[in-house]
Amino acid sequence: MSLAAESVATRGALTIDNAVKLYDPDGARVLAVDHCSFDVAPGEICMIVGPSGCGKTTLLNAIAGFHGLDGGAIYLDGQLLCGPGRPKAEVGSDRIVVFQNGALFPWKTNLENIAFGPLVQKKLSRSEAFEKARHLMAEAGLEGVENEYPGEISSGLRRRVEIVRALINDPTVLLLDEPYRALDALTKSVMHEALLETHRRTGITIFFITHDLEEAIFLGHRVIVMTARPCRPKRIVEIDIPYPRDYTVLTSPRFRELAADISAAVDEEAAKSFERGEKEG
């Protein structure tokens, strides 16, 4: 796999090893993830797709440390995040989650939002945190909105502020759960190019959940198609379209071929979960 980062990434390798997660609210026993194994290379953009409710977010939450596993293990750069003897990963600034609905403080300016993490963790002094925040905002094309509030800028710019807010912590892995779902197509395409540019600059590993197959193919080094619940890889598809990518690739025969292939795999699993839903319902 060729990674298109300016510097070749050496950190941010994830290993998911036989992960199992069972929710058991009031004895309901929902097996969300079952013996799920795959690796994500340092600096990879790894796109996760699969039917609704198959267990994608559950997996992301286990990597982030929001909940534990009931079996198996997850490693980051060979270090155990969770697994035997450690049921739940510690939440850490090495793995930052950017959520679909966003989580900016509306009462803080964009600059203050970005500087907040290292300040509250006392990792940087106030002046260092603000200087770094300004620098990262400039790199991400966010000059001019430093002193505005999240509510005063477009939803696309807000997404960019959120990603910069994650990057200020120097994470090795960015965990994205449908971050662009609510955006219109044009804004989404601007976001995609901005994310690829961020990746080129930083070489950060990106674990990205989406329902949008074009988004998955356009951005990813690989697309992992998950099975209907319980989640585990059904197909792992290498996206052999060279970076840098621009929107002209969407109409290329190879892109259409990959889209048809991945779409068929997702549809097959969606049909299974639909059938099971009918039986369960």
Ligand X SMILES: Nc1ncnc2c1ncn2[C@@H]1O[C@H](COP(=O)(O)OP(=O)(O)OP(=O)(O)O)[C@@H](O)[C@H]1O
2 by Cβ neighbours in 10 Å (0-12 / 13-18 / 19+) ranks as exposed
Q: Which two tokens stand for residue 153?
A: 């800028």
> For the CA atoms of 10, 168, 59, 278, what is the dihedral angle to 10 degrees?
-130
- Cα–Cα distance, 120 to 77 (Å, whole number): 26
Output 38 or 130, the one with its CB closest to ligand X.
Answer: 38
- Cα–Cα distance, 278 to 281 (Å, whole number): 5
- In this structure, are residues 52 and 269 in contact, taking their beta carbons and an 8 Å threshold? no
Binding stretches for ligand X (CB under 6 A): 23, 25, 30, 32, 50, 52-58, 229
Output 72 or 203, the one with its CB closest to ligand X.
Answer: 72
CB of 24 to ligand X, least distance (A): 8
Q: Which two tokens stand for residue 90?
A: 């510690």
Tell me whether the omega of the peptide bond preceding residue 244 falls within 30 degrees of 0, making it cis: yes
CB of 28 to ligand X, least distance (A): 7
Output 22 or 153, the one with its CB closest to ligand X.
Answer: 22
Output 57 or 202, the one with its CB closest to ligand X.
Answer: 57
DSSP 242: P
Output 54 or 137, the one with its CB closest to ligand X.
Answer: 54
DSSP 168: T
Give per-residue burial for 56-88: e unless 16+ CB within 10 Å, then b.
bbbbbbbbbbeeebbbbbbbbbeeebbbeeeee
CB of 273 to ligand X, least distance (A): 9
CB of 111 to ligand X, least distance (A): 32
Output 189 or 227, the one with its CB closest to ligand X.
Answer: 227
CB of 112 to ligand X, least distance (A): 31
- Cα–Cα distance, 67 to 96 (Å, whole number): 15
CB of 68 to ligand X, least distance (A): 12
CB of 58 to ligand X, least distance (A): 3
Quote the distance between the C-alpha of residue 18 and its chain's center. 20
- Partners of 48 in the beta sheet? 209, 224
The HSE-up count of residue 40 (CA atoms within 13 Å, CB side) is 32
CB of 98 to ligand X, least distance (A): 15
Output 56 or 245, the one with its CB closest to ligand X.
Answer: 56
Output 25 or 242, the one with its CB closest to ligand X.
Answer: 25
Residue that is written with structure tokens 């989580």 in the block: 103
Q: Which two tokens stand for residue 240?
A: 């052999």
